[in-house]
Amino acid sequence: MKVCVVGAGAIGATIGAKLFSAMGQVCLVARGANLDAIRRDGLQFIDQVGSASGVHRVPASDRPADFGPQDLVIICCKAYSLGSVLAEIGPLLGPNTVVLPALNGVPWWYFHGEGGNWNSARLDSLDPDGNLEQALDMARVIGCVVHLGAERLQAGVVQHTAGRRLIIGEPDGSDSERVRQVQGVLREAEFDCEVSLRIRRDIWAKLIGNLSFNPVAALTGYRMDQICSDPVLLGPIRQVLAEGIEVARRLGVDVGVTPEQRIAIARQLGRARISMLQDLEQGRPIELAAIVEAVMELADRVGVGVPVTRTLHALVRARADAIGVGVGRDAAAPVR
């Protein structure tokens, strides 16, 4: 299977390096200093979780046309960069190419194939003009939830710090041949890859953690272990978890975890510095729309009050504005 990973940040480089180590037929779409470093020195990968450490000479370019049609395209950009990414990946798409968006937060395709009252609804917080919906045939999409920790230490150097779990699933809940093929490829690369027949439940199970822990990390500068050991911080985190669980329930999704169980899962990340904190520290825009604002929009649609979520949103948005990084609303932002 020919695979292209679009976006060579922490998660994209981790997936790309492990796939390349396992099977070789992998290429990367990257930009700027990151691309220059990968071309010059190779992708330097420190695998604290598996056995793929090393310098990987992965073919890399900022021009998808250099690689041609692929069997699988894994999108690992920031959610706010998705508009520019989808506009560029056409040369990677053959008649049967599968697209696996490995993104944080609520995905823009969330209601595609939902089959209920919300089927094909569009989220204004993510795709206000319908540009994302028009840019890619959503029949290509397989959902993906990423449960691993990674950090880009510098251009071209990435460290895999925690977790191997990837959950993938068809938006319509079917158990298809193509989803099993993707699972096989990811398992070959040492990922604990599960096929879910209820991918939205799995999205919410991770999302409520991002919704609560990411803003707190961005505001405090704390690692995950520091947050989880601070009883004062765990108070509002429990409240935000409960708010997210209720929004999901009103949408017909049983998240399947309690706030305490979700905190226990977060503890497994140990000393990880989670994504919103990394972005702030490295001067990058934060993914506020996909992680927080989409949940606020969904809460409005189903009539759920989410006051603590809104408070954290206001505070972290002000923090981002104060240090001049913004909240990633530019759809033409570069792939990172």
Annotated catalytic residues are 206
Q: Which residues pair with 75 in a beta bridge?
A: 6, 101
Amino acid of residue 177: E
Hey, is 177 helix, strand or coil? helix
55 Cβ contact list (under 8 Å, min separation 6) = 41, 42, 43, 44, 45
Distance between CA atoms of residues 52 and 159, nearest Å: 11
Q: Which residues pair with 158 in a beta bridge?
A: 45, 152
Number of other residues whose CB lies within 10 A of the CB of residue 173: 14
Query: CA separation (Å) from 65 to 3, 75, 117?
Result: 14, 16, 39
DSSP-assigned letter for residue 158: E
Cβ atoms 335, 77 nearer than 8 A: yes
Distance between CA atoms of residues 276 and 139, nearest Å: 30
Distance between CA atoms of residues 257 and 145, nearest Å: 16
CB burial of 254-276 (b: ≥16 within 10 Å; e: otherwise) equals: ebebebeebbeebeebeebbbbb
Cβ atoms 276, 229 nearer than 8 A: no
At residue 56, φ and ψ (nearest 5 deg) are -110, 120
At residue 199, φ and ψ (nearest 5 deg) are -65, -30
DSSP-assigned letter for residue 289: I
Distance between CA atoms of residues 49 and 67, nearest Å: 30
Distance between CA atoms of residues 260 and 255, nearest Å: 13
Query: CA separation (Å) from 171 to 29, 71, 88, 319?
Result: 25, 19, 23, 35
